[in-house]
Structure 1
């Protein structure tokens, strides 16, 4: 045993014996006390994994005061501060710190520490600051925390994985607490009433949890904290009316209540808090008018009332808020007009009032708001011209879309050339030429002039926009040629939409310079000439729409190399000849090809014309017999060709029918076999249990719970956990039961595994495998809490989900349960994506599910998705070092990726991406992935893909979920189709999917509908 290990062992012995030192000699006591800090810190360090930053901490020193990150009290020589912020530490919060009896400051924030918070921290009598924020601590706050000490002033446990309700008396003895943050966890239940005892609290942050109830009416609660300067209750489940009383919090400077379910009128006495700087009441259910008392908040710099149900006229007193920098009243039902006093808001930087019913003209005084950077007026009833000078300000985002503005686009000048990033003037009645100086917007990324009446050419200066990513000029009465130098200065253009105009001439060959394009739509114009082969240079292209033009010739065969294409439509042109041989083209639907002169495709009726040279005939009358014979031969050839064509078609049809029949038979046989196998296992287990009961000897085994101290010492009769009456579901891995364990009556889900041919045959191997899965912790992953093992029976214990599975809510919902809304469905699919991303990218080695489907997505009381059955394929399949699986688990029909059927093909995380894409389609459409009709089989992802190509994809949406935003559902459908690509390498990673979904849900003008 090494010296350091012996020293740590001695430290642990000293720690365990520290209460037995009773009556040692005074000088010996002094020596031990002098080294208590060293002992405690060395033991604390031992529980950390490879902490190179703490290399200066060695047991050879008599005092830790010279160590890095340690502060000592010069009067006593004892450690007073331990500050280990942002050192990349991992491991758990072990023993040892309780030896630091002089400790006042303990900061371990922004590391990767895991496990539970140790109750020994309450043994630090002088602790004033405890900061454990931004780690991965889990479990509940120890009940002993109520004895943390009267000296504690600053307590920050934010951004962890802590959970559970808080005991009502937890803050009973915190008279000195001035700041408390529990944000970014999953705490639930009401706010403890003992919080009102923290009479000197001036900062309270409970945001981003699952707290519920009404904290303003619970035992006096929040209103008793009259020294508060910061109150953040945002993004919880709080509800109900807010009673009068906020005026008692007269010291408030920041009040955040957004993202809850508060209802009723906006409290008028908020306007009686004279020091208020920031007020956010957005995303609630407030009704009525905006209180006039808000006009007295002269110090207010931030005001957001967005996403409520407010009504009445836009407040005319708004000009009195001269300190205001951010004003957001979007997504309400406000009426009236904007006052000329808007120009008095000299400090205003952001003005958002989209999706209201505000009318009138945009006051010219708006140009006096010289600091204005963001102006969002989308979806109102504004009319008249855009004020002169608006495009001379240093704006970054201008969104005037979906109004009735008329007149011309005003000229631009000044600092706007460099500052403007987003310009959206779509869906108005603007006219006149597009100003050529738009080409001087050097940083412009998004330009949308669609659905206007411009009657303009596309100015070639648009090609100067080197940072442009989206250019949308659909349905704007444009005419003339498409500029050839559209992408000369920029390779970042990703969306180009010029549909429904009167553009003429050819598609320029230079279109191939737009190397970042993934959406190109030029349909419903008067474009002519051949489709340029340079489009094949657009390797990222996903959508290509050229229908309803005058294009002729053959489609370039080079287009077949575009492997990312999801949709192509070239219908109603003058195209002829063969389709490109590769990519999406062999599987194009007839609707994408119809209305041409002679495209060669078995899907189309009519002539097939090829660009071939006509034969040279010198004198057709010189050889009458030969010509006659040739005619007979040609007629015979035509008949033979027709015969061959019919034969091939018949063969294809017969083969398809045979494959479908065989598939149905195989699935039927597999289902029957599975039912027989499950019945056999159930009967065998029932006979084992019944024989055990008769003999009076319970099955030999142990119930191991990972998160209790009695773990490994409990053993129980399996019949106490599983029985037919408690069965709640099942799947490919086993049957699931609802059970109650422990003295506290904890409700869990118990899965009885089907192990007719187990790979893991020994308890040590089973323990190792299951414990590895039990270490996975994430909000969207069902935590594995323990297991039961015997050679004949294996059980897994996990968290119970009160709302059942996604399968139950989608396909087995009783009539008394309301259908899932779009917001709930989106939360489920985003949560599933986050959980999969954690399994794929945060676990080492990555955990591949192999069997993702709705029955394995559990829903908690708040409809948060939790992935279950992850990693269980390792218990049923053997995986070699190359990622090849023998006795491979094939996954459920319809969800399994194509590569799972190929025994020699390496599989990876992209299998789960495919299953996720299918499941997303199922969530949106409400249909199963494979549906068997009387005459056909409908594959869901193929069906949706065809509808997308036809432009009718929203027809497949499950309308039982009520209203839904097309701008969110449509891109999510497209993401799902990309995830179900037949080629694994073209599917995105789950981390990329999460990023895309979060962008889709973000309400910014950059979100662009594709059609």
Structure 2
């Protein structure tokens, strides 16, 4: 068997000269040698390449991922897609001289693309997509590409200009460079690649003007330039590429009108021009593009009316013209669009009534918010056929001037998941038929003129997560059946005329997070059972007529005084009003007793004599009372301690601190889904993504769900429950797009977002290995070896250092926000949420994020000290100590509270620091690494911010600790 040493020498010779290798070992198969050297450069955690045996004469028999030419018996295809491999792309690949297809997609390869694939003259397919490759690609990388037919470098981290030599690859049929950070103008030669059929450059930072000469790409079927900074007019010659099936120029800076030549694109089924600066009217000739299935003209500056010719588009499934300046009524001809599924005209200036045909076509989504539509929707809903009623999923006509009552026929649309009729002039009551909508998870009827009582049938909405009826004239009592809405998380009924008590059944809603019942006429006492709502973050009952004492519970003990103000008879510490207490009856001597020492109690007279007790009985009663009081006191203290421990032990795959919702703004766009890489592939609306069976957990800022895209990729979706803290859609989108450009292998990637005024979703990559908190503190998890712990600390440090380099403060660093991927690598999650929610102030961050207890820097308590990256460094120091000791930042004992940093610092001063190391390591750790790492944690937790190192320095120190050639004495002395 060839030794590993000989393999190293052979790989060295490969770098010098393949001829030399052949002359030294003529019997050694070049393909075997090249593949074994390639394997030596990669990590294979799942053992997918175990069948690659260096003793085999040929790889063509049973080597996984290998396909050979049967005539030459040489490797022709190397396909290792999704094998979970990592490492660098080594030079061993260059030995595969007859390779025709190289596909390493969906792995974890990193580093620069420095190999010269020109040596592989037969290469026809190159697919390195969905890895972590980075840096600039040499300008001459594609200089020898005569055989190359397809190249995909999508979803990596490449930067700089697109290589100039790519324009010389005249035989290329498919180019996909999407999802990178390429910048600058495209090579001029690309517009002369006459064989090109598919061009995807989406989601980069490319700019410049597309030349009129694009018509030279007359074989082009697909062009996707979405999410760049291309400017100028849409090129006139694009209409001469008559084989085009899909054109996506959205999210750029294109201006002017649409070129008339586009009407010649008779085969085009997807035309996406949204989020540009296009002007003029939507042209009448758009109806000549008879194959259109998706037409997106949203977020431009189009004016005038929708053309009547839209009725010719009988294949049309999705029409989005939202956020323009369109006027007039909807053309009746659109009733011919029999395949239409989603129709979005929101945020324009359309007028007139809602046409009957809208609900006759069997639409899944009707998004008409923010227009000037008037009249009643009664006839439109009542006249819809039964088969159409079963299809409608989203109905949003908010922000218009609709009048009349809400028709009972609304209850016939059994597939509805979202209904928003808010900010209109609707009158009458809430129809009882609303209880038939068993799939409904969002209902907003706020800011109308509704009256009457809330129907008891509301309890039938078992899927309802958010109910908004604020700013109406609703009266009567809150129905007891509200407690049957088992999924309810947000309840907004403020500014009505609701009377009577708050039903105790509200306490059954274990998912409840936000309740606003302010400005009503509620009476009676607050049910004590409300203290059991452990997820409650907002409970506003101000400006009512409630009385009695506030419930005793963790939330109500720290409730904002403004949330219970203007209730004259309400008492408790939050309203600074002492509750009157019933004192025990005094013990007096019985004047009729013959024993002067025998006491009795003054009891109310019911026609019977006083009850006389002996001194011994009274002493026994007093002792028993003292014991009971002591037991109750200890029980309450223990409950509070456990409650605090529960809060500090929250561990979700994507937790994000605690949120405190107020009434969200209803301004902004509705139903906007943006993915930073790839197509959204959500055909039934974003609400359908929030499948309760796929809920990963709930954090302070919202619940987290796992879902799978149509391309098979899993993502994690955080449903924010802090809508009121979002200042505006524009600011939200600006900040989330900034965060979407933050890329690092130790950061959880932000893939996109979804926006409506009342629902914001943040879409992250899914990380399968759970979070660090679970691995450290939960039973049943495999405990981490020291090497794993060190790598996690170092990886998290690198991710945090990159955030600071991009001027992003995490604010909420903790072990449950450090995720572990399938390779054991650390990924920092939930960064920058404070940037997404501009109204988060220091009070919210310091007083409300209870799940970050112990990680928060002391300067949060001082309003005169600026919050900087040093706060993250303090939290990172606590994280280091948590990883090394296996203990939580704050531990609650039976009669004591242990602060981790104080414990370690004290042990260090007493020379007992090794006693703090996690006992599960059982001495299997290098003291020369562990102790300096602990000292580094203490340095990071200095009370003075300026004494803490920055994260770049922390990374350097950790790398020096791991390197034995560097002295660590200096680090130890600095503590």
**TM-score range relative to shorter protein:** 0.5 to 0.7
- Equivalent residue for 2:521? 550
- Equivalent residue for 1:678? none
Instruction: For 1:233 and 1:405, locate their aligned partners in 2 and report how far apart those are by CA, in whole Å.
Output: 39
Instruction: For 2:374 and 2:264, locate their aligned partners in 1 and report how far apart those are by CA, in whole Å.
Output: 36
- Equivalent residue for 2:476? 505
SS at match of 1:394: coil
1:655-705 deviation per Cα after TM superposition (whole angstroms, max 9, x unaligned): xxxxxxxxxxxxxxxxxxxxxxxxxxxxxxxxxxxxxxxxxxxxxxxxxxx
Instruction: For 2:347 and 2:556, locate their aligned partners in 1 and report how far apart those are by CA, in whole Å.
Output: 39
Distance 1:404 1:494, change over 3 A: same
Report the alpha carbon displacement of residue 824 of structure 1 after superposing the two structures with TM.
Answer: 6.0
Q: 2:129 aligns with which of 137, 148, 158?
A: 158
| Contact kept in structure 1, 2:43 and 2:86, CA below 8 Å | no
Report the alpha carbon displacement of residue 584 of structure 1 after superposing the two structures with TM.
Answer: 2.1
Report the alpha carbon displacement of residue 487 of structure 1 after superposing the two structures with TM.
Answer: 3.2
Q: 1:75 aligns with which of 71, 77, 87?
A: 71
| Contact kept in structure 2, 1:313 and 1:337, CA below 8 Å | yes
- Equivalent residue for 1:599? 570
Instruction: For 1:164 and 1:830, locate their aligned partners in 2 and report how far apart those are by CA, in whole Å.
Output: 12
Distance 1:22 1:821, change over 3 A: closer
SS at match of 1:599: strand
| Contact kept in structure 2, 1:265 and 1:286, CA below 8 Å | yes
Report the alpha carbon displacement of residue 413 of structure 1 after superposing the two structures with TM.
Answer: 2.1
| Contact kept in structure 1, 2:37 and 2:92, CA below 8 Å | no
Q: 2:359 aligns with which of 391, 402, 405?
A: 391
| Contact kept in structure 2, 1:487 and 1:493, CA below 8 Å | no
- Equivalent residue for 2:368? 400
Instruction: For 2:75 and 2:809, locate their aligned partners in 1 and report how far apart those are by CA, in whole Å.
Output: 40
| Contact kept in structure 1, 2:286 and 2:310, CA below 8 Å | yes
Instruction: For 1:610 and 1:452, locate their aligned partners in 2 and report how far apart those are by CA, in whole Å.
Output: 48
Is 1:324 aligned to 2:264, yes or no? no
| Contact kept in structure 2, 1:7 and 1:59, CA below 8 Å | no
Instruction: For 1:198 and 1:362, locate their aligned partners in 2 and report how far apart those are by CA, in whole Å.
Output: 48
Is 1:530 aligned to 2:501, yes or no? yes
Distance 1:67 1:526, change over 3 A: same
Is 1:417 aligned to 2:330, yes or no? no
| Contact kept in structure 2, 1:112 and 1:135, CA below 8 Å | yes
- Equivalent residue for 2:598? none
Q: Please list every run of 5 or more consecutive structure 1 residues that lacks an aligned counterpart in the other structure.
A: 79-101, 620-819, 868-893, 898-906, 930-937, 946-955, 957-980, 985-1011
- Equivalent residue for 1:124? 96
SS at match of 2:748: helix
What are the residue-to-residue correspondences of 1:519-668 with 2, within 5 Å? 519-604=490-575
Q: TM-score normalised to the size of structure 2? A: 0.62
| Contact kept in structure 2, 1:450 and 1:472, CA below 8 Å | yes
Instruction: For 1:540 and 1:327, locate their aligned partners in 2 and report how far apart those are by CA, in whole Å.
Output: 39
Q: 1:262 aligns with which of 230, 255, 280?
A: 230
- Equivalent residue for 2:168? 197
| Contact kept in structure 2, 1:234 and 1:257, CA below 8 Å | yes
1:268-312 deviation per Cα after TM superposition (whole angstroms, max 9, x unaligned): 211221111111111111111122221221111111111111111
Instruction: For 1:613 and 1:461, locate their aligned partners in 2 and report how far apart those are by CA, in whole Å.
Output: 53
Distance 1:124 1:405, change over 3 A: same
Report the alpha carbon displacement of residue 860 of structure 1 after superposing the two structures with TM.
Answer: 9.1
Report the alpha carbon displacement of residue 66 of structure 1 after superposing the two structures with TM.
Answer: 3.9
| Contact kept in structure 2, 1:896 and 1:911, CA below 8 Å | no
- Equivalent residue for 2:719? none
| Contact kept in structure 2, 1:56 and 1:68, CA below 8 Å | yes
Distance 1:941 1:443, change over 3 A: farther
Q: Please list every run of 5 or more consecutive structure 2 residues that lacks an aligned counterpart in the other structure.
A: 586-601, 607-732, 751-765, 773-783, 821-825, 851-862, 864-888, 893-975
Report the alpha carbon displacement of residue 206 of structure 1 after superposing the two structures with TM.
Answer: 1.2
Instruction: For 1:354 and 1:606, locate their aligned partners in 2 and report how far apart those are by CA, in whole Å.
Output: 52
- Equivalent residue for 1:172? 143
Instruction: For 2:584 and 2:495, locate their aligned partners in 1 and report how far apart those are by CA, in whole Å.
Output: 32
Report the alpha carbon displacement of residue 146 of structure 1 after superposing the two structures with TM.
Answer: 3.3
- Equivalent residue for 1:236? 204
Report the alpha carbon displacement of residue 441 of structure 1 after superposing the two structures with TM.
Answer: 2.1
Report the alpha carbon displacement of residue 383 of structure 1 after superposing the two structures with TM.
Answer: 0.8
What are the residue-to-residue correspondences of 1:93-132 with 2, within 5 Å? 102-132=74-104
- Equivalent residue for 2:311? 343
Give RMSD over aligned pairs: 4.1
| Contact kept in structure 2, 1:479 and 1:503, CA below 8 Å | yes
- Equivalent residue for 1:358? 326
Report the alpha carbon displacement of residue 854 of structure 1 after superposing the two structures with TM.
Answer: 13
Higher relative CO (Cα under 8 Å, sequence separation at least 6) belongs to: 2
- Equivalent residue for 1:783? none
Instruction: For 1:455 and 1:235, locate their aligned partners in 2 and report how far apart those are by CA, in whole Å.
Output: 46
- Equivalent residue for 2:178? 207
Q: 1:375 aligns with which of 343, 349, 352?
A: 343
1:461-505 deviation per Cα after TM superposition (whole angstroms, max 9, x unaligned): 2111111110111012212221222232x4221101111112121
Report the alpha carbon displacement of residue 349 of structure 1 after superposing the two structures with TM.
Answer: 0.3
- Equivalent residue for 1:834? 748
SS at match of 1:577: strand
Distance 1:201 1:497, change over 3 A: same
| Contact kept in structure 1, 2:398 and 2:424, CA below 8 Å | yes
Instruction: Give the number of equivalent residue pairs.
Output: 667
| Contact kept in structure 2, 1:521 and 1:546, CA below 8 Å | yes
| Contact kept in structure 2, 1:851 and 1:896, CA below 8 Å | no
What are the residue-to-residue correspondences of 1:475-490 with 2, within 5 Å? 475-488=447-460, 490=461
| Contact kept in structure 1, 2:34 and 2:95, CA below 8 Å | no
Is 1:247 aligned to 2:215, yes or no? yes
Report the alpha carbon displacement of residue 359 of structure 1 after superposing the two structures with TM.
Answer: 0.5
| Contact kept in structure 2, 1:158 and 1:182, CA below 8 Å | yes
Distance 1:918 1:116, change over 3 A: closer
SS at match of 1:172: coil
SS at match of 1:383: strand
Instruction: For 1:826 and 1:572, locate their aligned partners in 2 and report how far apart those are by CA, in whole Å.
Output: 40
SS at match of 2:416: coil
Greater displacement, 197-206 / 845-854: 845-854
SS at match of 2:167: helix
What are the residue-to-residue correspondences of 1:288-303 with 2, within 5 Å? 288-303=256-271
SS at match of 1:502: coil
1:845-875 deviation per Cα after TM superposition (whole angstroms, max 9, x unaligned): 47776999999554699x59699xxxxxxxx
SS at match of 2:159: strand
Report the alpha carbon displacement of residue 319 of structure 1 after superposing the two structures with TM.
Answer: 1.0
Q: 2:834 aligns with which of 921, 925, 937?
A: 921
Q: 1:278 aligns with which of 236, 246, 258?
A: 246
| Contact kept in structure 2, 1:922 and 1:928, CA below 8 Å | no
Instruction: For 1:853 and 1:434, locate their aligned partners in 2 and report how far apart those are by CA, in whole Å.
Output: 56
SS at match of 1:458: coil
SS at match of 1:486: helix
Instruction: For 1:471 and 1:366, locate their aligned partners in 2 and report how far apart those are by CA, in whole Å.
Output: 28
Instruction: For 2:112 and 2:50, locate their aligned partners in 1 and report how far apart those are by CA, in whole Å.
Output: 32
1:83-109 deviation per Cα after TM superposition (whole angstroms, max 9, x unaligned): xxxxxxxxxxxxxxxxxxx22211111
1:156-180 deviation per Cα after TM superposition (whole angstroms, max 9, x unaligned): 1111111111111111111121111
Instruction: For 2:526 and 2:46, locate their aligned partners in 1 and report how far apart those are by CA, in whole Å.
Output: 62
Distance 1:924 1:180, change over 3 A: same
What are the residue-to-residue correspondences of 1:768-917 with 2, within 5 Å? 822=735, 826-827=739-740, 834=748, 841=770, 845=788, 857-858=801-802, 863=806
SS at match of 2:85: strand
| Contact kept in structure 2, 1:839 and 1:848, CA below 8 Å | no
- Equivalent residue for 1:726? none
Instruction: For 2:470 and 2:318, locate their aligned partners in 1 and report how far apart those are by CA, in whole Å.
Output: 33
Report the alpha carbon displacement of residue 595 of structure 1 after superposing the two structures with TM.
Answer: 2.2
Instruction: For 1:911 and 1:367, locate their aligned partners in 2 and report how far apart those are by CA, in whole Å.
Output: 50
| Contact kept in structure 1, 2:159 and 2:182, CA below 8 Å | yes
Q: TM-score normalised to the size of structure 1? A: 0.60
SS at match of 2:395: strand
Instruction: For 1:618 and 1:15, locate their aligned partners in 2 and report how far apart those are by CA, in whole Å.
Output: 104
